[in-house]
Chain A
Amino acid sequence: MSDRAAAARRRRLVWKGLEAAILLGMLFLILFPILWMALTAFKRPVDLFDLTILFTPTLDNFRTIFGAPWNIGRTLLNSTIVAGLTVLISVPASTLAAYAFSRFEMPFKGALFFTILATQFIPAVVVVLPFYLLFRDLGLLDTHLALVVVNLAIVTPFATWMLKGFLDAVPTESEEAALVDGATRLRVILDVVVPMIWPGVVVTAVFCFILTWNEFLFALILTRDDAVTLPVGITRFRTERGDLWELIAAAGILISIPMFLLASVIQRHFVRGMTGGAVK
């Protein structure tokens, strides 16, 4: 009997050890690529392929990418403008639509909501072909406007879905009270509803900002010089002279840090972004 208990205890101990080993392995896998990139960003080219972590750190790479000919500051600005404008247009529009979907009945509501949501499954490459031709004819290739327009296609369905989830969870009493007091519906939305779901609006805006910031395909096809955003900008460091890894890493850190911060801010709600409240 005590033999069996001892065996069970041993088995539990082995299992605990195994669990810890798996978790440590996972931690390593998740963090290592990020840490390696961070280290590489501070390396001189001669230390690049040294696998040691003992090297003389330098800020030269950051200095280089901000200087000519790379001018990453410009790219950074482009990314900020495109992601910012996209969010500023799509989040208000999505809030209004989500409110209507959440509070009103209407014919074809199901079909309409379904259509808006289904569009997020469309591959970006099928959307970009006609836009490429249109923007080429209009002379709008390589502009912020072009990128904002196509990014709206990606972001608006997500935002509508996320915001409807937040709106559904809010009680309607205070809205109804304000309506009875004679306020118009639009005033109620602005003064009562939006303040109540403000955290949800922020989470949605941040999520959409991250999506747009990281977007690659549209920027690759629709920009050349003036409106290039960061994800395409980093591919510029792969030159004919070879890949300038230390510069790629420095730019990579620059792209990622703001997104890490934003993602941590909305951590708890991050998952809703893709699953739209299907999984809480």
Chain B
Amino acid sequence: MRDRWLKYMLILPAALIVLGTTIWPLAVSLTTSFRDWRLTRSLTPGPFIGPEHYVIALTDDPDFANAAMVTGLFVLFDVTLTVVSALGLALLLRRAGVLQSVTRAVLILPFAVSPALVGISFRFMFNAETGVFTWLAGVLLPPLKGFVWLADPWAALLVLVFSDAWRWVPYMTLVVLGGLAALPKEPEEAARIDGATEWQVLRDVTIPALLPVLAVVAILKTVFALKMFDQVVTLTGGGPGTSTVTLAYLVYSIAFRWYDMGYASAVAWILTALLVFLAVWYMKLILRKPGQT
């Protein structure tokens, strides 16, 4: 019966790690967010000023509004592109075939590449005039010849989405393939015997059965898109102008370029609150599944 204490001892190391490396910094940045603290003026935290930073961020800061907008658009494009492509690709890869198995084998690769490196490589390939993708786009669509992708606000955002999708779509395809493999075969076969076309089988049987998996993919991708930081630094640097400054990048700028720790913490916490909300939703979704306690 020493198990009664043992089980807590077993959890203790991991619990201490999480407490020390996540809960503590979260608590500190929460209190910091209510204080006036600019490192340029003082090395120690200043006085508490109430929710002023939050009020400023949400009502009176064009930089925040811009970053929220950029992040929202990025999430929208990125999640849509990822879910649709992963589903489509998984459905194509489901069958046997040489091309299918080759593609399945390489799906693992992009996710193993450091996101920072992905950003730099895409910067290279979308380089003005000399980038290989810049050239390719000009060949495929002649009006795009000579177009400077990273100098145009919308194009830069799209390149950022493309670079992130490059890393995530193959991974999420594997997730959807796993979901497809776990589906029972009978409903699809029954529908076919009843004379349904392949399209109808897909729309009325396969996709509805896949919805839980697609929800997992969509929420996970939303979370990681909201946190997007690495490629912003290495691919666009937030530019041109501020057209690709995401919320995570804005926090970084406020904290380590302007050294305003109080305000940076407040913006970071707005992002955190959003993510925690998504986390709760996600966990309810996956922990509810039978056999997954």
Say which residue of B10, B107, B118, B174 sits within 8 Å of A30 (CB atoms): B107
Say which residue of A27, A103, A122 sits within 8 Å of B272 (CB atoms): A122
Contacting residues of chain B (230-279) with chain A, CB-CB under 8 angstroms: 230, 233-234, 248, 251-252, 255-256, 261, 264-265, 268-269, 271-272, 275-276, 278-279
> What class of interface size applies to chain A in its complex with B?
35 or more
Does residue B143 face the partner (Cβ distance < 8 Å to A)? no
Does residue B178 face the partner (Cβ distance < 8 Å to A)? yes
In the complex, what residues of B have CB within 8 A of residue A33's CB?
Answer: 110, 118, 121-122, 125, 166
Does residue B146 face the partner (Cβ distance < 8 Å to A)? no
- Interface SS of chain B: helix, strand, loop or mixed? helix
In the complex, what residues of A have CB within 8 A of residue B200's CB?
Answer: none
Closest 5 pairs (CB-CB, A-B): A97-B14, A153-B21, A121-B279, A49-B130, A214-B114
- Smallest beta-carbon distance A200→chain B, Å: 16
- Interface SS of chain A: helix, strand, loop or mixed? helix
Contacting residues of chain B (110-154) with chain A, CB-CB under 8 angstroms: 110-118, 120-125, 130, 132, 135
Q: How far is the CA of A230 from the CA of B120 in the complex (A)?
A: 13
Known: A256-B113, A262-B112. A149 touches B21 (CB 8 A): yes
- Smallest beta-carbon distance A19→chain B, Å: 6
Q: Let me know if B117 and A126 touch, CB within 8 A.
A: no
- Smallest beta-carbon distance A258→chain B, Å: 9
In the complex, what residues of A have CB within 8 A of residue B255's CB?
Answer: 125, 129, 132
Q: Let me know if A156 and B18 touch, CB within 8 A.
A: yes
Q: Let me know if B124 and A259 touch, CB within 8 A.
A: no
A-B contacts besides A232-B116, A252-B117, A280-B178, 16 pairs, CB < 8 Å? A33-B122, A36-B121, A40-B124, A49-B130, A51-B132, A100-B10, A121-B282, A123-B268, A126-B271, A132-B256, A152-B17, A235-B116, A238-B120, A255-B117, A263-B109, A275-B286
Q: Let me know if B276 and A122 touch, CB within 8 A.
A: yes
- Smallest beta-carbon distance B18→chain A, Å: 5
